[in-house]
Amino acid sequence: MKEPSVRILVADDERPQREILVSSLCDEGFRAQGVPGLPEALAALEQARKVDDPFGVVVTDLRMPTDKEGLELLQQARRDDPLCEVVLVTAYATDDVAFHSGKARAFGFLTKPLDFEKTIITITSAADKSRLARENASLKRLLLSGESGYCGIIGKNTQMTDMFSVIDRVAGTDATCLIRGESGTGKELVARAIHKMSPRTADPFVAINCAAIPGNLIESELFGHEKGVFTGATARRAGRFEDVAAGTLFLDEIGSMQLDLQPKLLRAVQELEFSRVGSAQMIPFRGRIVAATARDLEEAVQVGEFREDLFFRLNVIVLEIPPLRERKDDLPLLIDYFLARGSRRHGKNFQGVTAPVLAAFEGHSWPGNVRELENSLERMMVLGDSEMLGAELLPPTITSIGARAGNGDNGQFLLPSEGLVLEDLERDLIEQALDRTSGRLEPAARMLGITYKTLQYRIKKYRLKDENGVLPDGIIPDEGHIA
């Protein structure tokens, strides 16, 4: 459903000008209403409050017929609704008018005769400011009430609301769902939303990251094992397929599952039964499968790294999560959400970010998506003390090599003023990618746009290790490169 346009109240005792302005604003898509004076304007504002459909902007002639009426309307409108913006119209553009309009917190003022192009631009800017302020206030009310967005997912972007609609439709079914999206977009949040909106919500939600468990343990982790079936199996153990009961089993990073285990998973999904490792007894599966991947599974099928029949069994309902760079209009909502949560956690009172910070965020390409935004704001909150977080707190990845020119779509990095060494840039980018993927090479290689083997070579070349001196998963020490 399309959101209603901003309401605008035009107060002017000159009927021809009032009607022309109202007509022009309606042509621009606003819901405009005209009144001839202060009493009618106050009545309109009162009625708007009663029906919970407030005016976003009041445009008032300063003198109706005296200057007291215009200023009184301005002050009353702002007093009753601080999120309403007021634009003054006057034939006397004096310093006194500018003083009074600024003192009373008017958005601005226009002089007669009206330049209609300038008038529409000014009123549109005021309407945008009011609309954004109301959206942010609405989000903060949700946070204070213990709620946040759609089942914990923040976003009003069209792609996000379309996804919410799909979740609404499929949550009540037993259909297998496949969530696709880049690392850091919030795939587990979407899986939890499907579970929360389903009739299974009273049963467990069990999550397992298929990429985080060694290949020799993943089968036991999923399906359980019998006593003595391998060294260390001192007792029978139930796996995640049993733990989930009639709930939702979330298989994250399904694209990294080893090929020889995929037939057993296919049987569990297709036949709704499985067996523990070391047992021939079949156990019914009563849960629902929701899988997620950042990998292109069609490509994995083509190169023989993922079974085609398993892909089709998982690819029943597909939910695509857009990357943050494609929904930057959600940045203000996400910033407010993380700042409100961080304020509670750190015992501070963060109110927002400065305009340069927001500009830097809007220009950044966000390869780590929402998780990168959350981590960046967390860093800024830890280092910052004032209510507004300034540009001096921005992470280096955003202020220098991590920032992109323009809107981030042309792929050109902004060079720091002192220049850089290309090898240092390459090493830094690889370290960032490994950090964002928790040391996992395959998603890091995709993020960097290079092959898996090239990334292995670069890691050895630059002798990259984590803070504990451990090589990233999948790297074999090479005496020629590792000290």
DSSP string, 346-369: HT----EE-HHHHHHHHHB--TTH
Cα distance between residue 20 and residue 16, in whole Å: 6
Cα distance between residue 473 and residue 441, in whole Å: 7
| Cis amide bond preceding 356, omega within 30 | no
Taking Cα atoms as reference points, which of 435, 355, 365 lies closest to residue 398?
Answer: 365
Give Cα 132 to chain centroid, integer Å. 16
Contacts of 203 (CB under 8 A, 6+ apart): 244, 245, 246, 247, 248, 287
| Cis amide bond preceding 472, omega within 30 | no
Per mean pLDDT, which range of 76-90, 168-182, 409-423, 428-442 is the poorest? 409-423
pLDDT band at 378 (very low <50, low <70, confident <90, very high): very high
Taking Cα atoms as reference points, which of 421, 414, 425 lies closest to residue 458?
Answer: 425
- Secondary structure (DSSP) of 10-33: EE-S-HHHHHHHHHHHHHTT-EEE
pTM of the model: 0.55
pLDDT of residue 346: 83
Average pLDDT over the chain, rounded to whole?
82
- The length of the chain in residues reads 483
pLDDT of residue 465: 66
Range 57-72 average pLDDT: 81
Coil, helix or strand at residue 172: coil
Q: Are 307 and 111 in contact (CB under 8 A)?
A: no
pLDDT band at 90 (very low <50, low <70, confident <90, very high): confident
In terms of Cβ atoms closer than 10 Å to its own Cβ (0-12, 13-18, 19+), residue 477 is exposed
Cα distance between residue 255 and residue 20, in whole Å: 61
**pLDDT of 31 over the 50 cut:** yes
Coil, helix or strand at residue 85: strand
Q: Are 473 and 452 in contact (CB under 8 A)?
A: no
Range 36-59 average pLDDT: 88
Range 161-181 average pLDDT: 89
Per mean pLDDT, which range of 54-58, 195-199, 214-218 is the poorest? 214-218
**pLDDT of 404 over the 70 cut:** no
**pLDDT of 368 over the 60 cut:** yes
**pLDDT of 189 over the 50 cut:** yes
Crossing angle of helices 116-144 and 15-27, rounded to 10°: 60
**For the chain, which domains are there?**
7-144 (3.40.50.2300), 158-320 (3.40.50.300), 325-417 (1.10.8.60), 421-483 (1.10.10)
**pLDDT of 181 over the 50 cut:** yes
75 vs 195 pLDDT, higher one: 195
17 vs 2 pLDDT, higher one: 17
pLDDT of residue 148: 54
pLDDT band at 473 (very low <50, low <70, confident <90, very high): low
Q: How far is CA 146 from CA 142, 186, 303, 339, 388, in A?
A: 6, 20, 46, 15, 23
The one-letter amino acid code at 418 reads E
Q: How far is CA 211 from CA 270, 302, 456, in A?
A: 23, 20, 17
Cα distance between residue 24 and residue 31, in whole Å: 11
pLDDT of residue 442: 79
Q: Are strands 248-252 and 177-180 parallel, antiparallel or unpaired?
A: unpaired
What contacts 24+ positions apart, CB below 8 Å, involve 227-232? Answer: 228/278, 229/277, 229/278, 230/277, 230/278
**pLDDT of 75 over the 60 cut:** yes
pLDDT of residue 475: 52
Cα distance between residue 322 and residue 153, in whole Å: 13
- Secondary structure (DSSP) of 210-272: TTTS-HHHHHHHHH-B-TTSSTT--S-B--HHHHTTTSEEEEETGGGS-GGGHHHHHHHHHHS
pLDDT of residue 62: 82
Each residue's pLDDT tens digit, 296-353: 999 999 999 999 999 999 998 999 999 999 999 999 999 999 998 888 888 888 888 9
The one-letter amino acid code at 7 reads R
